Amino acid sequence: MAAAVCAAVGGFDLSGVNIALPLMASAFRVPPATVQWVSIGYLLPIAALALPAGRWLDLVGRRQALVTLVTGFVVTSAAAGAAPSFAVLLVVRIAQGAFGAGLFAVTPIVAFESVRPERRGAAVAALSAIGAAGGVAGPSLGAFVTQLLGWPWIFWCGIPVLLATLPVFVRRLPAGAPLVVPSRALLGEAALLAAAVSAVLLGLTFAADRAPAWGLLAVAAAPALLAWRRLHPDSPVIALVRRPGFSPAVVSLASLAASVLAAQYLLAFLAERTLGLSPVAAGAALLALPAATMPFSIVGSALARRIRPERVSAAGFVLLAAGIASGVVAGSLGALVAAALLMGAGQGLSNPPATFLGMSFAGTEHGGSAGAAMSFLRNIGFTAGPAAVSVVWALGGYSPTSLRWALGLAAAFALFGGLVVLRTAPAAARLRGHAG
């Protein structure tokens, strides 16, 4: 549970800050295009450092790693809210993202390894439910926090929660191997991946905000990835990608992230511009999504123990797509709430079985790398989904019609995730056979 809470706070800091960007722009007197770097500066290290962080986590004890990462995240959160200038805020957010990269990588490992094998499905379900709820509820909760307390509390409100997890980790986790300073090889790997991820994320972000041609910047990622592949042929991530079932499981999670974040982003505009709701009312309506995610994550985990998990996950993806499709035709506050509830139910059913499958295919030998790979692709999905639908919306002149077309693309991401997770079926059958 403590690991799930850390994932939720990290997810909240990823999505909740977006609602406060206009206030930060006014406070620091910077233009909207500049203030976006508060979000980008956090996301870039999370995505760029995910895989090297996973390799580092395979070398050190879970207790030492979590205590270090949580402490670093708390310190940088406090500094972000107290930043005296925009430059300081940006530097602190990059540091916060670096600690977040480790947290996102280590939390699924702790949830998977800290319980008996027969309880791992439930543990992953709890992590998925609470972690996903934190990220999805970010904009809605962020609106309330900002309105009541001011934008610095976006960074401060999670500090007491994180501090409460430290005694749990110290008491419950074994010491394990001592902390080690990352080697030069790991730092070099991080630099190459940072270059590749920066090219992809910046290309997608600028394509959505400025012009689709900026998407070509993502091509610059290819040389960095080829260099990484040549210099690190023995990377555990490469071995995991070759392991049957692992790749489709984690790709389905990336599709889930892209679908949910893209739909949530668009439905907020639909609520305000088409339905005429206030930002607070729109945020309250969309809170139905995380509210449904948590109970349906428990349902999804229970069903996955009786029905093949890949089928449960695929059904969740279909339900998610249906929820987004119902949002396309939503004409009232009630219809928007119903669409958000359906989306939350779909996310709850699809996420835990897919996460459990990915961790099961990976095993415990390279748990850190497996968690990092999931974190890496999820974060690519978090950025790629909203960016892709923004391009579709922009090409239609930001009209109500093109907004609904963009929602259709978000639904297509969900259906793609359902098809991909079904491709894990042969490997999952072999896994069940070995377990039996």
Q: Which amino acid is at 48?
A: A
Predicted pLDDT of residue 2: 63
Does 94 share its domain with 222? no
> Which one, of 130, 109, 131, lies nearest residue 120 by Cα?
109
146 near 154, Cβ under 8 Å? yes
**What's the chain's length in residues?**
436
Q: Is the pLDDT at 79 greater than 90, yes or no?
A: yes
Predicted pLDDT of residue 126: 62
Percent of the chain with pLDDT over 70: 82
Encode pLDDT of 352-390 as tens digits: 888 888 877 876 666 667 777 777 777 778 777 877 887
Does 194 share its domain with 161? no
Predicted pLDDT of residue 349: 92
Domain boundary pick from 218, 233, 248: 233
Predicted pLDDT of residue 387: 75
Predicted pLDDT of residue 33: 57
Encode pLDDT of 254-279 as tens digits: 999 899 888 887 887 788 777 887 76
* C-alpha torsion 206→208→132→151, nearest 10: 70
Which tokens is 369 given?
Answer: 């790398």
Predicted pLDDT of residue 133: 59
Summary mean pLDDT of the chain: 80
Distance CA 279, CA 282 (A): 5
Mean pLDDT over 414-435 rounds to 85
Encode pLDDT of 12-43 as tens digits: 777 777 667 767 888 888 875 577 778 778 87
How far the first Cα of the chain sits from its last, in Å, is 29
Please state the φ and ψ torsions of residue 22, each to the nearest 5 degrees: -60, -40
Does 216 share its domain with 261? no
Distance CA 351, CA 128 (A): 6
Mean pLDDT over 121-139 rounds to 62
DSSP summary character for residue 214: G
Model pTM? Answer: 0.73
For the chain, the domain total comes to: 2
Which residue is associated with the tokens 């500094």? 79
Predicted pLDDT of residue 76: 95
Does 195 share its domain with 211? yes
Does 386 share its domain with 277? yes
What CATH number should be reported for the domain holding residue 91? 1.20.1250.20
> Which one, of 371, 373, 363, lies nearest residue 109 by Cα?
371
Does 117 share its domain with 227? no
Distance CA 92, CA 94 (A): 5
Does 75 share its domain with 220? no
Does 218 share its domain with 105? no
Domain boundary pick from 204, 233, 262: 233
Does 209 share its domain with 294? no
Q: What domain range is 218 assigned to?
A: 188-233
Instruction: Taking the CA atoms of 249, 254, 259 and 260 in sequence, report the sign of the dihedral they define.
Output: positive
